[in-house]
Amino acid sequence: MDRQLMLFACFLLLVSSTQAIGVKYCDKKKNYAVTIQQVKIIPDPVVTGKPATFNISAVTGQAVYGGKVVINVAYFGVPVHQETRDVCEEVSCPIAAGDFVLSHTQTLPSFTPPGSYTLKMTMEDKNNEELTCFSFNFKIGFRSLVSDS
């Protein structure tokens, strides 16, 4: 009986650490050229002072030859960070029609407060046409007081 309980506990731990991150589109009625399939954050929760990678799996029905990605981050609804990046810095251009992954790694300052954050991302083509706009929530946890080295 103890062995079954241990296996069940391991299963629950595995499932809880691989939960999908819910994505909300900015305009639920709009037919975006780029749709989001999945968002993975490594590690989850994000740890201050350590690199965090955001992998966004997406699909486009048209080739994308350039443009920009606008990222806005809010902490409990209060805007705390905004940046604009060349889409070709985040993914190899041109992006062919089909599946692609936009990946961004960033190390947050050690003084970043733990808690719930919302990231809103807008992607535009080189003619400033909006290809997608979505948001998702993520958490920043406390940094371990024990050295990792």
DSSP states along 107-148: EPPTTPPPEEEEEEEEEEETT--EEEEEEEEEEEEPPPSS--
Residue 122's pLDDT band, with cuts at 50, 70 and 90, is very high
pLDDT tens per residue, range 31-79: 999 999 999 999 999 999 899 999 999 999 999 999 999 999 999 999 9
Closest CA to 53 of 18, 101, 104: 104
Compute the mean pLDDT over every residue in the chain, rounded to the nearest whole number: 85
pLDDT score, position 6: 35
Residue 116, pLDDT above cutoff 70 = yes
Q: What is the rounded distance in angstroms from the CA atom of residue 143 to the CA atom of residue 145?
A: 6
The pLDDT of residue 24: 97
Position 109 confidence tier, pLDDT thresholds 50, 70, 90 = confident
Q: Which carries the bigger pLDDT value, residue 98 or residue 3? A: 98
Alpha-helix residue ranges (DSSP H) falling in the chain: 2-17, 87-90
For position 144, what pLDDT does the model report? 54
Given pLDDT bands bounded at 50, 70 and 90, which one contains residue 20?
A: low
